[in-house]
Structure 1
Amino acid sequence: MKNVLLLAFGMFALGFDAYVIAGLLPGISDTYQKSTSQVGQAVSIFTLFYAISAPFFSSLFAGKPIKKILIWSMLLFTIANSVTALAPTFTILLLSRAIAGTGAGLFSPLAVAASTKFVSSEKKGRALGLTIGGMSIGTVLGVPLGIYISNVYDWKITLWLLVMIGVISILCMYFFLPDFPTTPPPALNERLKMFLDKRVTITVGVTFFASVASLGLYTYLSPLLEDMARSSNVTMYLWAWGFGGLVGSILIGYLIDYFGKLKTLVTIILFTLTLSIISIPFMLNFPILKYLPFFVWGAMGWACQAPQQHILLSQQPNNGSSAVALNSSVNYLGSAIGASLGGVVLSIQTGTITLIYFAVISMSLAIGLQFYSMKKFRIN
């Protein structure tokens, strides 16, 4: 598991970067004199370029030395973060977020697919859970720390901390991650068959709509809480969300290995995630309990990814890396669209409660697709 931990540390940097920006929106907004909905597009552009780059680079670099690709992608990601910290204009900041998203889109699916190469078949679920768990740890530890640093000093200091983490990750992979055999690149017709496989389409469709709801809503957590809870301090809610993500992403690996019925497990996760989002406006009125929906939301949102990727690996055993990359891409595409729609909602001043409505509608579509998949293909 040592090699899996090295990959998980790289994912930690990605999780820190992808989710801390949502907490830095007020500071970035003040620096560049932009509205919250405009600055929210910095999240959208990161996730959009992640979505575009993941499947493209997965195919382009299929069969190439994965260790070198992981190191170069983390280097690109780290340089982009340094540009974000130095950006003299908002346009350059958006450009740097696009480059960072490209580096993340290259690193993440390869790291997830590579993690299964270092363990036996019966431990693949745990390896996937641990690697993805690196992102949730980046959220639960990095995001509150980054927001604290931003409040005490400046949001740019948080970005420099990210740069330092990226450099450490690069050095650790260079010196300690072994070279390992790569899977030969699949033939073009095999890749096309994967995209035309109805099972794959429905599986990533579930991922898409769940991501629109979960990650899109998360982007605007700060204005949501200011409106509903009359609180500008989002740190404790982010702690609850991130800690839930940590618990969910680590425990899900064991559930995959021992529960077995992956589609049933995903269905339970989707229902629980929907209920947690619905309960937010009601639970905010109760001390202590107001953090519970955010904990459950984080746990279910993060737990959903590993079984989905496991299902895709079983559906496309000869295109595992490409299938995982596609799911990661769709996950972040959903986040980009969710963040963009959230920005539209805020800009037309329909009230932040509308963000909850959009999230519930999107989750309903995810559940509908999941039921169709279970009925149509008759597998666990």
Structure 2
Amino acid sequence: MSTATGTGPGPTRHKLALAALGLGAFVIGTAELVIVGVLSLIAGDLDISVSTAGLLVTAYALGVSLGGPVVTAATIRLPRRTLLWVALAVFIAGNLVAVFSAAFGLLLAARVLCGAIHGLYLGAASTVATGLVAAEHRGQAVGLVFGGISVSTVIGVPLGTLIGQGLGWQATFGSVVVLGVLALVATLALVPRVEHTSADGLGAQARHAFHPRVLAMLAATVLLMGSQFIAFTYLTPFLEDVTGISGGAVGAFLLIFGVFSAIGTFAGGRFADINASATLLAGNVVVIVAMAALWAFGSNAWLVGIALAGWGIVGFGVTPSFQLRVISLAGEGADLAATLGASAANVGVAAGAAVGGWALAAFGTGDVPVVALVAAVLALPVVWATRFLKAPQAPVAAAAGGEADSVSNVPVTTAG
């Protein structure tokens, strides 16, 4: 049983540890998304097309989806705290390579490496976070970690883009390096060693992590995240062509989505603790309503703003519930499964972007939300069915007498 007690995430030292984990996620989220704001700068500097530069986004997503689980499997026996700081150190090195990359191929390789570390870090941070708090607060702990990703979309990405426009795209990656060093120092200073009950060997981890109940949860993740990114990937042209806004107004609407996404992630952690399965189902319904509103009232700026706010809250707000359910359902395979959760989300992102591109070409900007609506409706029965998935019996906690700075990590049932 965790040493954390009380009505919050635990003692002050554990709250500081969670803040350090959130800072690491903020750095990783900034590095992932800020590339979009400097693609044209990279294309011009390296004498390539913008579409070719866009492969840097794809490379990162492939790194998360495929490289994350592979790297996690290779490091499965490492203590989670050690894995966190090693992951951050390698992530810093990867972005340092990007700073000095004069060739597109080298920059592409650096993005694949950083993507793999992204998945590794989020998986390890999730399992460490759940081990820092009492069982009834594990959703909040995961929400604090993924909240770092959400905050990066509101603060990190705009600032990184501004730095790139003023000082060059290399300075953008340089700022990520600096933030990464701060996160590394915070991790070493604040994150304690976490005792966990996951199986030690890769084979044992895989048996639990790839259990049908976990795969079903991952499928639900892909479907719901994918349905959202059908619309989100092409939100800017929708706002310009259908809603009829441009320039700074587009940025304001995207900011609305980003702010409410951050709020939703933190709030979503609390709802995950109450009932993760019900939170996912409610989130799916809200996505359906939001997509319907965008399709039906896309020309009304006020209603679009309201729809984006509601969508933003659940878009990232369901993430803690997804991750908590995956970890819980995996039982002794939680370390590997936590990375699979990040991979599934990125598969959904990539698939959603591809379907959205097809919808844009086939039907036009105004009908992209209705394709997202159909996808969200198709996801609903799968998300509903996951309510009946039961987590395995939690292993008996290790005998008392461990290190003073260690806490335990025991998967818990979150079906409600």
Common topology (TM > 0.5): yes
8 Å contact kept, 1:345–1:354: yes
Structure 1 pair 376/318, CA: closer, same or farther in 2 (3 Å)?
closer
Q: Decide which of 342, 346, 351 is 1:332's aligned counterpart.
A: 346
SS class of match (1:181): strand
Partner of 2:177: 163
Q: What CA distance in whole angstroms lies between the structure 2 residues aligned with 1:162 and 1:354? A: 37
Structure 1 pair 372/339, CA: closer, same or farther in 2 (3 Å)?
same
Structure 1 pair 139/208, CA: closer, same or farther in 2 (3 Å)?
same
Q: Decide which of 359, 377, 383 is 1:364's aligned counterpart.
A: 377
Q: Decide which of 117, 120, 144 is 2:131's aligned counterpart.
A: 117
Partner of 2:12: none
Partner of 1:231: 246
Q: Decide which of 250, 255, 261 is 1:245's aligned counterpart.
A: 261
8 Å contact kept, 2:126–2:142: yes
After TM superposition, list the pairs within 5 Å mapping 1:302-321 onto structure 2.
302-321=316-335
Partner of 1:66: 80
Structure 1 pair 241/38, CA: closer, same or farther in 2 (3 Å)?
farther
Kindly indicate whether residue 222 of structure 2 is the aligned counterpart of residue 198 of structure 1: no
Structure 1 pair 158/22, CA: closer, same or farther in 2 (3 Å)?
same
Partner of 1:148: 162
Q: Shift of residue 117 of structure 1? A: 1.4
Q: What CA distance in whole angstroms lies between the structure 2 residues aligned with 1:351 and 1:149? A: 34
Q: What CA distance in whole angstroms lies between the structure 2 residues aligned with 1:93 and 1:349? A: 33
Bigger shift: 72-81 or 128-137?
Answer: 72-81
8 Å contact kept, 1:44–1:340: no
Cα deviations by residue, 1:76-95 (Å, 9 ceiling, x for unpaired): 22222233344334333322
Q: What CA distance in whole angstroms lies between the structure 1 residues aligned with 2:111 and 2:338? A: 23
Bigger shift: 234-243 or 150-159?
Answer: 150-159
SS class of match (2:78): coil
Larger Rg computed on CA atoms: 2
SS class of match (1:180): strand
Kindly indicate whether residue 337 of structure 2 is the aligned counterpart of residue 323 of structure 1: yes
Partner of 1:256: 272
Q: Shift of residue 153 of structure 1? A: 4.5
SS class of match (2:193): coil
8 Å contact kept, 1:270–1:367: yes
Q: Decide which of 108, 125, 134 is 2:122's aligned counterpart.
A: 108
Cα deviations by residue, 1:149-204 (Å, 9 ceiling, x for unpaired): 34445444332222211111112222333333354534555444335533222211
Partner of 1:267: 281
Normalising to structure 1: TM-score of the pair? 0.87
Bigger shift: 314-323 or 16-25?
Answer: 16-25
Bigger shift: 146-155 or 69-78?
Answer: 146-155
Partner of 1:84: 98
Structure 2: unaligned runs, 5 residues or longer: 1-14, 391-414
Kindly indicate whether residue 192 of structure 2 is the aligned counterpart of residue 178 of structure 1: yes
Q: What CA distance in whole angstroms lies between the structure 2 residues aligned with 1:305 and 1:25? A: 27
Q: Shift of residue 220 of structure 1? A: 4.2
SS class of match (1:101): helix
Partner of 2:399: none
Q: Shift of residue 124 of structure 1? A: 1.3
Q: Shift of residue 336 of structure 1? A: 2.6
Structure 1 pair 150/181, CA: closer, same or farther in 2 (3 Å)?
same
Structure 1 pair 190/255, CA: closer, same or farther in 2 (3 Å)?
same
Bigger shift: 299-308 or 146-155?
Answer: 146-155
Cα deviations by residue, 1:80-126 (Å, 9 ceiling, x for unpaired): 22333443343333222111101211111100110111112222121
Partner of 2:386: 373
Bigger shift: 279-288 or 194-203?
Answer: 279-288
Q: What CA distance in whole angstroms lies between the structure 2 residues aligned with 1:236 and 1:253? A: 26
Q: Shift of residue 288 of structure 1? A: 4.6
Q: Shift of residue 62 of structure 1? A: 2.3
8 Å contact kept, 2:199–2:332: no
Q: Decide which of 111, 116, 120 is 1:97's aligned counterpart.
A: 111
Kindly indicate whether residue 300 of structure 2 is the aligned counterpart of residue 286 of structure 1: yes
Q: What CA distance in whole angstroms lies between the structure 1 residues aligned with 2:82 and 2:386? A: 38
Aligned residues: 377
Identity %: 24
Bigger shift: 132-141 or 227-236?
Answer: 227-236
Q: Shift of residue 207 of structure 1? A: 0.4
Q: Shift of residue 230 of structure 1? A: 5.0
